[in-house]
Structure 1
Amino acid sequence: MDIAALVAWGVTASGGFYLLGTWIQRGGIRQQQSGTSRMPAPVVFGHFALAAVGLVVWIIYVVADKSALAWTAFGLLVPVALLGFVMLARWIPVYRDRAAAGAAPAAAAAHGAEAAVPAERHFPLPVVLAHGLFAVVTLVLVLLTAVGVGGS
């Protein structure tokens, strides 16, 4: 089960890297001053940093098989999940605005509205959904491994 969690974590991280890259490329960091982005940089980078540290701890756990490392990785995943839910809650209105604005994108671009578009509006829905789904799977597999279900 520890390897399954590692694979799920890797898939989750891949989606997360894509979303982070999209956010940075589309000006998410620059939009912090203007307030255009609804994603606060400390939340985005905190989510990323804690997830990355947790993944490293999990890899060490897979190699060393020490129960304390499994619980440490799970402890790191809890705030990662909370920050992820914060970002999801802040992203949903941006996604809904994109869907509502889809009828008149040419008119908005002609008036320079693209500069006021939050960077996270460019997140593809399938990537967001897959990232969230694999994150939940990862959290559950890590917890089950930490409590000793399935052996290691």
Structure 2
Amino acid sequence: MDIAALVTWVITALGGFYMLGTWLSHGGARGGSSHLPVPVIFGHFALAAIGLVVWIIYVIADKEALAWTAFILLVPVALLGFVMLARWIPVHRAQATAPAGAGQGVPAERHFPVAVVLAHGLFAVVTVVLVLLSALNIGGS
């Protein structure tokens, strides 16, 4: 289960890196019209990255405290992720109703592919569950 959590975490991270790169390349960090606050984006990223490193160390060292540390780090990561999802949904919905040629002042997050957002969220939920189950020693290593 530890390795399964690692695999899902890495897949989740890849989707997150893609969306972060998309957001940055479309001017998200420069303020503009983005609905995603810079501290929320980078807080989500930093805590998830730190948690992933802790999880890798846990997989190598097999110390229960590291599993719980990784899980505890995932709690605010998930909360920040839900905040961003809630702020992204209206932007995505507005895209469908925007008149043709309306490209001025488009939020950077409008460029996120729906499939990537959904896959990132799905793998994130699976990761949280697998990490919790591993920390509880349910399902074996």
Shorter-chain TM-score tier: over 0.9
2:114 to 112, 116, 125: 125
Matched, 1:138 2:127: yes
Matched, 1:11 2:6: no
CA distance in 2, matches of 1:142, 1:45: 22
CA distance in 1, matches of 2:116, 2:81: 14
For each residue in 1:21-71, what CA deviation from the matched residue of structure 2 results, as whole angstroms up to 9, or x when unmatched? Answer: 0000000011x2x4x100000000000000000000000000000000000
CA distance in 2, matches of 1:130, 1:105: 28
2:136 counterpart residue number: 147
Shift of 1:20: 0.2
Runs of 4+, deviation exceeding 2 Å: none
Shift of 1:115: 3.1
Aligned residues: 141
Shift of 1:105: 2.0
Matched, 1:58 2:47: no
* TM-score, length basis structure 1: 0.91
* TM-score, length basis structure 2: 0.98
Shift of 1:81: 0.1
Question: Equivalent residue of 2:29, what SS?
Answer: coil
Kindly report which structure 2 residues correspond to 1:73-92, keeping only aligned pairs within 5 A, or say none.
73-92=70-89
CA distance in 1, matches of 2:46, 2:59: 20
* Percentage of pairs with the same residue: 74
- CA-atom RMSD, angstroms? 0.8
1:111 counterpart residue number: none
CA distance in 1, matches of 2:51, 2:100: 40
CA distance in 2, matches of 1:61, 1:139: 15
1:105 to 97, 100, 108: 100
CA distance in 1, matches of 2:12, 2:89: 19
Q: Aligned partner of 1:120: which letter?
A: E
**Greater C-alpha Rg:** 1
For each residue in 1:101-126, what CA deviation from the matched residue of structure 2 results, as whole angstroms up to 9, or x when unmatched? Answer: 1xx323x2xxxxx2310000000000
CA distance in 2, matches of 1:105, 1:68: 54
CA distance in 2, matches of 1:58, 1:105: 46
For each residue in 1:4-27, what CA deviation from the matched residue of structure 2 results, as whole angstroms up to 9, or x when unmatched? Answer: 000000000000000000000000
CA distance in 2, matches of 1:50, 1:115: 33
1:22 counterpart residue number: 22
